[in-house]
Amino acid sequence: MITKRIIPCLDVRDGKVVKGRKFHSIKEVADPVMMASFYNEAGADELVFYDITASFEKRKLFNKILREVASEIFIPLTVGGGIDSLEDFDTVLKCGADKVSVNSGAIKNPGLIDAAAKKYGNQCVVLSMDVKRVDGKFMVFSMGGRENTGKDAASWAVEAVVRGAGELVINSIDTDGVKDGFDIEMLSALAPKVSVPVVASGGAGKMEDFADLFEKTGVQAGLAASIFHFREVEISDLKKYLNEKGVEVRV
Amino acid sequence: MIALADYGVGNLFSLCASLKYLGIDTEVTKDPKKIKEAEKIILPGVGAFGDAIKKLEECGLSRVIKEEAKKGKPLLGICLGMQLLFERSLEYGIHSGLGLIEGEVRSIKDDMQKEARAGFKVPHIGWNRLDIDESDPLFKYIKNREYVYYVHSFYAGKCEESVIASSYHGIEITGACRRGSIWGTQFHPEKSGTVGLNILKAFTEV
C-alpha cells in the first residue's frame, strides 16, 4: 500500500522561507537550503517549494537556491509559483524539480496543463488550487488568493484532471494559517471528485489534525508549513503517532 | 566512469546529485563514444514513452545503448528509462521500445480490477513497500519491504521472468527487473532516501 505522505512546504520569497497567515502578513523564517536539508533528514516524504517572488531578477536567485536544494535532498521535490509556460516547466525541472505545480498560470491558460502533461507526463503536472467559501460554495481563487475566478472548485478540479493533471493540491484559504485543523468539509467534498492523488493544505496545527485528515477524508497527503518550520510538531513524532493510530506512513 | 545517458528527457539533476553524494565518477553525456567508454550506463527518464524513445533514437543513443548492453555492460534504466528497456509500450498508442527485456508497458488503470479502482488512485504516486528478491546484487544493501518512491501511470507487464522486486497498488507493480546485466527500477532510487542511495551504490558495484 502507498503510505500517506507528510509534506513540509517552503514558501520562498527573495531567497528566504516565509510564512503568512491567510495569505497575508508574510514573515521571514530561514534559509531554504538549510531547511530542506533538515526535512530530508527528518523523514519528510516530499518537499514543496513555492516561489512567491515577484520580480524576474529574483527568480534567478530562486533557481539557484532550487539547484542547491535539489543537490542536497534525496526525496521528491515539487516546485511552483509563477509557472506560466512550458519554458517555466523546463527551467524548474532542469533545476532539479520532480513535479511542477501550476495555479494561476493554468487558470489563465488551461491548455498549459494539456501541453505540459503531454510533454512531461501527467505525473509531473500538479494542479494547485486555492479554494474559499463564497456564499456557501467552494470557489477557486487566483493571484495568491486575492482574486475570485468565478470557477467552481469541483468543476475546475475535474477539468484539470481530464486535461492531464496527475495530482491536486487543495489549499483552503479559509483555514490557511489558522492552525485549527485541515478543512475536512472542503476536502471531503472535493477529493472524491477526482481519480488522482490529493494533497491537503491549510490549517494543520497539531498531530491530531493529520490523524483527523487521514481518517475522515480520502486524501493521500498532508501539507503544512509553520508547524514544521517552528518545530511545533516534529515529523518523526508525527509519523510515530500516525502509525500507532493505524495510518500507514513511511518510518 | 558511469555514463548517464542524456537524451533531452529531464530528471538528470537529481540522479547526478545522488551519484555525486555517493562519490561516484559520473558523466552526463549524449556522446555515443562516451557511452562506449563507460564501465556502466544509467538510462534515466521522465515523461511520455513515445516522446522519449523518439528522442533516444534521434540522438543516436538507442543503438549504442543496445549494443553495449548486449555485450554485457551493466545498464540500469530508471522509471521511464526502465520502461524503455521493454519490447513495446501502450502509452498513447503503441510504441516500440529497446527490446532488451521481454514484456510490455501497460496502463495501470486499464489492468486494475474494477473493484480495486476506487481504492487505488492512478498515477501511482508515493512511497510503497518493495518486496525484493534478496539474492539480487542490486539489493545487497537494503532489506525486504523497505519503502521506495514511485511516480508513474504505466507499468511493465508480461515480464514475470525478469521481475526481481514488486509493490502492490491494486495490482502487482513491477518494481524492478533484471535480465543478465541489464537492470531496471520503476521507482526512483534517487528520490527514495537512504534506501534508494543504497540501491544506486549497489549498482555501481555490480
Assigned C-alpha cell, B135: 539474492
Assess if residue A44 is contained within a domain. Answer: yes
User: Would you say A190 and A198 are in contact if contact means Cβ atoms under 8 Å apart?
Assistant: yes
CB-CB under 8 Å, B122 with A196: yes
**B124, B150 Cβ separation under 8 angstroms:** yes
A4, A220 contact by CB (below 8 A): yes
- Closest among B80, B77, B7 to B47, alpha carbons compared: B80
Q: Supply φ then ψ for residue A132, to 5 degrees.
A: -140, 150
User: Would residue A86 count as lying in a domain?
Assistant: yes
B127: chain A residues, CB-CB within 8 Å:
2-3, 5, 45, 250
Beta strands in chain B (DSSP E): 2-5, 26-29, 40-43, 75-78, 86-89, 95-96, 101-107, 124-132, 146-152, 154-157, 163-168, 172-179, 182-185
Q: Of A207, A242, A199, A203, which is closest to residue A225 (Cα–Cα)?
A: A203
Interface contact flag, B125 A94, Cβ < 8 Å? no
Half-sphere exposure of A227 toward its Cβ, with a 13 Å CA cutoff?
Answer: 27
The answer to whether B157 and B105 have CB atoms below 8 angstroms apart is yes
Contact A76 B149 (CB under 8 A): yes
| Structural domains of chain B, ranges and CATH numbers in brackets | 2-205 (3.40.50.880)
- Between residues B168 and A143, which one has the greater pLDDT? B168
Q: What pLDDT was estimated at residue A21? A: 53
CB contact under 8 A, B121 and A197: yes
Instruction: For residue range B123-166, list pLDDT tens digits in order.
Output: 898 999 999 999 999 999 999 999 999 988 899 999 999 999 99
Domain count, chain A: 1
Exposed/middle/buried for residue B172 (C-beta within 10 Å: 0-12, 13-18, 19+): middle
Report which of A52, A48, A77, A73 is spatially closest to residue A62, judged by C-alpha positions. Answer: A52
Residue B102 has pLDDT above 90, yes or no: yes
- The verdict on residue A224 lying in a domain is yes
Residue A251 lies in a domain: no
Whether A133 maps to a domain, the answer reads yes
> At which residue does the C-alpha cell 510504441 appear?
B95
Sequence-distant (6+) residues with CB within 8 A of B57 are: none
Which residue numbers of A have CB closer than 8 Å to B's CBs? Answer: 1-3, 5, 40, 45, 67, 70-72, 74-77, 93-96, 98-99, 118-124, 166-167, 195-197, 220-221, 250
Q: What local confidence, expressed as pLDDT, does residue A71 receive? A: 92
Taking the CA of residue A195 and the nearest CA in chain B, the distance in Å comes to 6
**Which of B96, B148, B108 is closest to A122 using CA atoms?**
B108
Burial class (CB in 10 A: 0-12, 13-18, 19+), B113: exposed
Distance from CA of B102 to the nearest CA of A (A): 24
Q: Which grid cell is B200?
A: 544506486
Q: Is A25 exposed, middle or buried (0-12, 13-18, 19+ CB in 10 A)?
A: exposed
Per the CB < 8 Å rule, is A121 touching B153?
Answer: yes
Which amino acid type is present at position B143? Answer: K
Q: Do B151 and A74 touch (CB under 8 A)?
A: no
Do A45 and B127 make contact, defined as CB atoms within 8 angstroms?
yes
B13 and A96 in contact by Cβ < 8 A? yes
Q: Collapsing DSSP states into helix, strand and coil, what is residue A136?
A: coil
The CA-based angle B89-B114-B81, given to 5 degrees, is 25
CATH number of the domain where residue A82 is located = 3.20.20.70
Looking at chain B, how many residues does it have? Answer: 206
H/E segment holding residue A223: strand A221-224
pTM of the model: 0.89
CB A95 within 8 A of CB A63: yes
Report CB contact under 8 Å: A45, B48: no
Cell of B186: 520503476
Q: Which residues of B touch A (CB under 8 A)?
A: 10-11, 13-14, 17-18, 20-21, 46-48, 51, 80, 120-129, 147, 149-153, 168-169, 188, 190-194, 196-197
- Rounded distance between C-alpha atoms, residue B144 and residue B109, angstroms: 27
Residue A38 identity (one-letter amino acid): F
Chain A residues with CB inside 8 Å of B190's CB? 74
Nearest CA to B135 among B164, B105, B115, B168? Answer: B164
Joined grid coordinates for residue B123: 498515477
Angle B86-B31-B40 from CA coordinates, rounded to 5°: 55
The CA distance from A161 to A150, in Å, is 19
Reply yes or no on whether A130 is catalytic. Answer: yes
Per-residue pLDDT band for B34 (boundaries 50, 70, 90) equals very high
Domain around A97: 5-244
Query: CB pairs below 8 Å between A and B: how many?
Result: 109
How do beta strands B146-152 and B75-78 pair?
unpaired
Alpha-carbon dihedral sign for residues A58, A64, A67, A71:
negative
- A14 belongs to a structural domain: yes
- Residue A249 covered by a domain: no
Per-residue pLDDT of chain A (251 residues; tens, 9 = 90+): 899 999 999 989 888 888 655 545 556 667 889 899 999 999 999 999 999 876 777 788 889 999 999 998 999 999 999 899 999 999 998 899 989 999 999 999 999 999 999 888 888 899 999 999 999 999 999 988 889 999 999 999 999 999 999 999 999 999 998 899 999 999 999 999 998 999 999 999 999 999 999 999 999 999 999 899 888 999 999 999 999 999 999 98
- Among A71, A166, A167, the residue with its CB nearest the CB of B17 is A71
Residue at A148 is within a domain: yes
Comparing CB atoms, the residue among A71, A124, A195 nearest residue B122 is A195
Residues in chain A, total: 251
Binned at pLDDT 50, 70 and 90, residue B48 comes out as confident
- Which residue in B54, B151, B192, B195 has the most chain A C-beta atoms within 10 A of its own C-beta, making it the best mutation to test that interface? B151
Determine contact, residues B13/B48, Cβ cutoff 8 Å: no
Radius of gyration of chain B (CA): 16
Of B44, B38, B41, nearest in space to B151 by CA: B44
Strands B124-132 and B146-152: antiparallel
> What is residue A96's three-state secondary structure?
coil
Q: Considering only CB atoms, which chain B residues are within 8 Å of A99?
A: 151
* Residue of chain A with shortest Cα separation from B191: A75
